[in-house]
Structure 1
Amino acid sequence: MPFLHKWILLLFLAMALVQSPGAIAGTPKIGYLVADSHGKVMDALNPDQAFVPASTFKLLTALGAFNELGENFRFKTKFFLGPDRTLKIKGSGDPLITSEILEKSCCDLASILLKKGVSTIKTLVVDNLFFEPDIQIPGTGGSTNPYDAGVNALSANFNTVSFRFDKHDGQLLSGEPQTPLLSFTRPRILASGLDRGRIVLSRIESRTYAGRLVKFFLEQKGIKVMGGVEEGQVLQQDLHIYTHVSPYTLAELVRQLLQFSNNFMANQIFLTAGAAAFSPPASLEKSVGALRAYASNTLGIENISIAEGSGISRRNRISPREMLKVLMAFKSHYSLMNHERDEFYKTGTLDGVRTRVGYFTGKNNSLFPFIIMINQQGQGYKIIKERLKSMVQ
């Protein structure tokens, strides 16, 4: 960058920092970096200062999961039949079990049960023991927003419920034709005061939600469930009768979590990778340790703070120079990122935080990594992006 142009940019950023009511004197609030296709830094501001990365942190989580599980890994959910005709479901962290997927699995499962002469189930048990109980993801709260959804070994529909209120008929209805609106969700929906939208299930409700959906779909397929749905454990004497294998590879799941910046999916994958590294049950401590070891031993990253895997926590910190190492490692997966014109990218947003990392495409489709980290209110984001992009064109 010509000296005069860089001086003008720095002056503009300094003015933006002064205008920011949340700025702390003497603490850098803006960092950026652009490198050539070989990773050589072309220009940077505060490259060694650790910033809150927000959702751009998902790239590191994805790399760590690829390392522990493999790009072609598929989540499995197993079904067992107890001696007393109790049906048990053992989850393993699958982040993308939807109503459509559950209904298809229940169709297959019902066929298996009927072939075994089983048309009645005594009760249905959900085994969530692949995850430690009541894992609290740092940065999440108790709101009805989907980004606050809790994590479980067995989950469905991101532990959320979509709904709408039909004013003509005066009825509360499901917001998705493929998903039944189960009666236990109604009090929480009514308490929201909304006439349509999506609410997050409580941690207790979410632990049996997938099981309740299984009960509903099985009964549609002719399997009667006499009792309710409860938590329990698969035992050695229980007979394994069916395994649902995710229709998505890990790489396909990462594409979706990056496209929609899905925090729930990121942390389900983050926890599963930790369990693969240190054995179940999954925990935050194991997953943080596994990702930290991968970042240090494989990527050579030391200046980092890891609290969880989605970027929702402000305790996650990484510098632009260390994020460059993430981007260099992610180059072989760049097509999984969002794409517009001459840029592949991942953005991140929290209150007072705006980040963007990715690759500008240059001649011969070469990839130029860039990082923009703004940890302040105010302006500066767009002018940095355009200035960095001009350097590789």
Structure 2
Amino acid sequence: MHCLWRYLSSIFILLYLFIVPHVWADFEQAKAQLPTGTRSGLVSQLLNEQQTVNQYTDGYFPPASTLKIITALASQLELGEQFRFTTELRADNHQLALIFSGDPTLTTANLRQLFSQYRSKHGRKISGDIWLDISQFSGYQRAVGWPWDSLGVCYSAPVSAVNLDGNCIQASIYTQDNGSTRVYVPPHYPVHVSSEAKTVSQALQQSLHCDLELIATPNNHYQLSGCLAEREQPLPLRFAVQNPELYAQRVIHQLLRQLGIHLEGDIKIGQPPEIQTMASIAIHRSAALPELLKIMLQDSDNLIADSLTKTLGQHFFLQPGSFANGTEAMKQIIFANTGIDLQDAQLVDGSGLSRNNRLRLESMRQILAYLAAHDQQLSLLNLLPTAGESGTLLYRRSMRHSSVRGQLIAKSGSLYGTHNMVGFVVNEQGKPLSLFIQYVTDYFPSTANAHLPIEPPITQFELRFYQDVINMAHGQ
């Protein structure tokens, strides 16, 4: 037996000595596709052995949305599979209180159902006030380092204890023959949108360097300006709600009118003194945590990620949740349960949207290795998108190639100049064979040939890199 073990060990060593230099050379060829000045960190590690190929893994990189994997792990460890966000309607003889918990999936229809239950039990009159209790969260509704120029769009929606309809407003803008534009907003959205944007030809837009611009104000007013090239179909727009509390107040006024409920008081923000003695009228519960994590990872949902981050802070420290205590809770939860030390990571949110986030590849490697080793207990790997088949990876050009499609499960991450991917090579049964990390930042390709039908350098790099990690996982 001892001789057999020595023989097998020598075989593994020979394979290692052969494969690693080969894969290293392949990585170098893949990196050659990237523009000069691009910074990258690459890792590939077989899970059944300690064979690892690394390139420039000592530095810090912006994780972008790959951070959601860490948020998912911390949430699963701390909150558990049975966790659900709750929204509760309470009442006493004259007033109501809506207790919000930061549910990122709460809809206007859910609120309507709560008030419908009130009407069926207590009639069509509220003699006092309606209180909106948002005390579960505190602090900023946007994390430090969120780009200012994206705050008006839905992927940067504020994170409040009261989130309605994803804090997102659907609209559209039309070009006009007289050179103006007009905006359509469905009437059920209690916001105001105006447009001073001009309709111009494609050539004039390019020569003027004039794009569509948005100014959003704290009272949920939106003004469009700049230029829009002539088009036959309307351009869809998605605005982030700027003031979730004001938006909720206006939505509730609409619902009360629709339900025929007369409110004699006001809709106020805060907690009534009698909150603890008020009777529970109705409760809405979100989907359970695994379903929320699936949406978060498949669709890269920032609102779910950051609502969970604040909830972790509230749950772990027993105080109103914030970005500050939420990210610290993530670090402490993961260290206490896994032994992985993230104290040197610079984390300011749980979505990865902030430009201030920084993470070492070794930290992400340890997280991925833990997920693979404990997948039976965590069940997180099956929530990740599959290359070329689902979620945010469905249409990724580098993953639609037959040599890559279906062979990776991973989480992408993108910011300005950043293109990341972390995940696993899987076999035909979907079981992980190896982990990999691709962190690429300071990526600024030449725009000289942007009009030509040429694959972008990042796509060429990714295809080559993914083929390399797949070949390594299969011992090729």
Q: TM-score, normalised by structure 2?
A: 0.71
294, 297, 307: which one pairs with 1:258?
A: 297
Residue 340 of structure 2 is aligned to residue 322 of structure 1: no
- Cα separation, partners in 2 of 1:167 and 1:135, compared to 1, 3 Å: closer
How far apart, in 2, do the equivalents of 1:321 and 1:190 lie?
43
Query: Aligned residue for 1:337?
Result: 384
One-letter code aligned to 1:385: Y
How far apart, in 1, do the equivalents of 2:22 and 2:50 lie?
22
Question: Cα deviation per residue 1:84-132 (whole Å; 9 max; x = unaligned)?
Answer: x232212111111122323333322332332xxx523543321111111
One-letter code aligned to 1:387: D
Give structure 2 stretches of 5+ with no counterpart.
Answer: 1-18, 177-181, 195-219, 229-234, 390-405, 446-456
Query: Aligned residue for 2:334?
Result: 295
How far apart, in 1, do the equivalents of 2:79 and 2:23 lie?
46
Query: Aligned residue for 1:26?
Result: none
- Cα separation, partners in 2 of 1:127 and 1:383, compared to 1, 3 Å: same
311, 316, 320: which one pairs with 1:272?
A: 311
444, 450, 466: which one pairs with 1:385?
A: 466
Identity %: 22
Q: Give the Å deviation of 1:71.
A: 1.7
Residue 152 of structure 2 is aligned to residue 140 of structure 1: no
- Cα separation, partners in 2 of 1:338 and 1:95, compared to 1, 3 Å: same
Question: Cα deviation per residue 1:53-86 (whole Å; 9 max; x = unaligned)?
Answer: 1100001011111222112201111222255x23
- Cα separation, partners in 2 of 1:387 and 1:320, compared to 1, 3 Å: same
Query: Aligned residue for 1:74?
Result: 84
Aligned residues: 373
Q: Give the Å deviation of 1:270.
A: 0.4
How far apart, in 2, do the equivalents of 1:353 and 1:317 lie?
12
Q: Secondary structure at the match of 2:185?
A: strand
Residue 68 of structure 2 is aligned to residue 58 of structure 1: yes
> Larger Cα Rg: Structure 1 or Structure 2?
2
Query: Aligned residue for 1:92?
Result: 101
How far apart, in 1, do the equivalents of 2:464 and 2:384 lie?
22
- Cα separation, partners in 2 of 1:207 and 1:330, compared to 1, 3 Å: farther
How far apart, in 2, do the equivalents of 1:145 and 1:271 lie?
21
Contact 1:159 1:206 in 2 (8 A): yes
Residue 209 of structure 2 is aligned to residue 209 of structure 1: no
229, 233, 238: which one pairs with 1:198?
A: 238
Bigger shift: residues 247-256 or 41-50: 41-50
One-letter code aligned to 2:272: V
One-letter code aligned to 1:173: V
Query: Aligned residue for 1:234?
Result: 272
How far apart, in 2, do the equivalents of 1:167 and 1:100 lie?
32
When the two chains are superposed, the root-mean-square deviation of aligned CA atoms in Å is 2.7
Contact 1:292 1:306 in 2 (8 A): no
Query: Aligned residue for 1:153?
Result: 161
Query: Aligned residue for 2:10?
Result: none
Give structure 1 stretches of 5+ with no counterpart.
Answer: 24-28
How far apart, in 1, do the equivalents of 2:426 and 2:26 lie?
25
Q: Give the Å deviation of 1:7.
A: 2.5
Q: Give the Å deviation of 1:241.
A: 2.6
How far apart, in 1, do the equivalents of 2:280 and 2:304 lie?
27
Bigger shift: residues 349-358 or 100-109: 100-109
Q: Secondary structure at the match of 1:391?
A: helix
Q: Give the Å deviation of 1:147.
A: 2.2
Query: Aligned residue for 1:130?
Result: 136
How far apart, in 2, do the equivalents of 1:330 and 1:109 lie?
44
Question: Cα deviation per residue 1:232-281 (whole Å; 9 max; x = unaligned)?
Answer: 21323551333423240011111111121111211111000110000121
How far apart, in 1, do the equivalents of 2:77 and 2:67 lie?
16
Q: TM-score, normalised by structure 1?
A: 0.85
- Cα separation, partners in 2 of 1:78 and 1:35, compared to 1, 3 Å: same
